[in-house]
Amino acid sequence: MKLMFIFSLLSLLSFSAMAHKPSDSYLSISNEAQQSHGQWDIALRDLETAIGLDTDDDGEITWQELHAQQAMVTDYALNRLVISNTEQPCALNPTDFKVDEHSDGHYAVVYFKIDCANSGPQFNINYQLFFDFDRQHRGLLKLNSNNSLITHIFSPEQPNYQFNVNTQSQPLQEFLSFSYEGLQHIWKGYDHILFLLSLILPAALKRDYREWHAKLTLRSVFTDVLKIVSAFTLAHSITLSLTALHYIVLPSRWVESAIAASVVLAALNNIFPRFMAQRTWFAFGFGLIHGMGIAGVLLDLGLPDTHRLYGLLGFNLGVEAGQLLIVSALLPLIIVLSRRDYYAKYILKPASSGIITIGMIWLLERSLDFQV
């Protein structure tokens, strides 16, 4: 009984957030001989959390509300970004302010010019946006310098980035950076984890005469999980690639809603086991949808095709590694617990019920565009 409560509690704890794409901002810097410029795309939902933009508390941030607080938004952002040249901070002077739409909603776009007193080749960027209250936030940098494009990901652990204006693009470093980010993404993407968890929860059981029984051999358990994970990996790799390369373009809300629906249906199948033998096809079919959702980070970064390939390969590799770690950690526990008589009644069904509850709320939030 205690295990049942622990499993349900762990499920419900993850419900509090992560119903949407993790927090990212997109910083583009163009380093030119005469004048350097910057563009910073920051999610309105993150700004609302940080400084409050919805002045009439009606749940909507209008252009009038945003425009009225333009100076506050600009100051808030630029005070958390330091660009230094030979250890002297450069002046960041705002030049324009707009709104743009990304895959996960509307973003304020702050344009600024960079005025440095010195002209040395060595620069340092210190990024601190939202790190004081959101340790999961990431700043995705796209730097154009000397006809070379460089990418980098800022995090609370890595808020600084140094570059030389004469440095050429570093594909290996970018590949490793995106691999790490892919690993982080799958850990933070609770909808992908819950979908996979729903599929492997009954992996050590078989259904005979409307009763659950533990499978007799570990080989049958591992074979079942291998099929599911392989199908999910293959499917989301296909659509992740096609979406990141712009061969598939679907509205973000449809994709995110379908992902939430897949979580509900996968968990529902554990309570009303009508399609247990088809879980591999389940994993493949809905894996195609999950791949489109995972591609959002790469799409919003706006990389050219050559650099997108580095990012795509690295990001996908990180996602697979993260997924493998999750399954490796959960499967032994599932196998051990499934040998207990209470597993099906007090763990499988309650955990699946918790997942259904979370998935339903995500589905309502994403399809109706509101947040509980």
Q: What is the pLDDT of residue 18?
A: 43
Per-residue pLDDT, 4 = 45
Q: Assess contact for 232 and 356: CB atoms under 8 A.
A: no
Tokens of 231: 């199908």
The reported pLDDT for the residue numbered 371 is: 65
Q: Looking at the DSSP assignment, which residues form a beta bridge with residue 111?
A: 39, 96
Contact between 161 and 154 under an 8 Å Cβ cutoff? The reply is yes
Q: Which residues of the chain have pLDDT under 50?
A: 1-20
Helix (H) or strand (E) holding 298: helix 296-301
User: What distance in Å separates the CA atoms of residue 343 and residue 341, rounded to the nearest whole number?
Assistant: 6
pLDDT of residue 74: 96
Q: Smallest Cα–Cα separation from 139: which of 300, 336, 320?
A: 300
What is the 3-state secondary structure of 315-340?
HHHHHHHHHHHHHHHHHHHHHHHHCC
The CB density around residue 2, as the number of other CB atoms within 10 Å, is 7
Amino acid at 210: R
Helices 252-271 and 279-294 pack at an angle, to 10 degrees, of 150
Those residues whose C-beta lies under 8 Å from the C-beta of residue 48, and which sit 6 or more positions away, are: 54, 61
* 119: Cβ contacts below 8 Å, ≥ 6 apart: 85
> Looking up tokens 């049958």, which residue turns up?
220
112, containing H or E segment: strand 105-115
Residue 14 has what pLDDT?
41
pTM above threshold 0.75: no
Nearest to 228 by CA among 195, 189, 267: 195
The pLDDT score that the predictor gives to residue 39 is 95
Beta bridge partners of 161: 125
In whole angstroms, give the CA distance from residue 52 to residue 46. 9
Amino acid 199: pLDDT: 94
Residues 108, 66: contact at Cβ < 8 Å? yes
What pLDDT is attached to residue 187? 73
Query: Tokens representing 150?
Result: 């460089």
Look at residue 243 in the predicted model and tell me its pLDDT.
85
Amino acid identity for residue 340 in this structure:
R
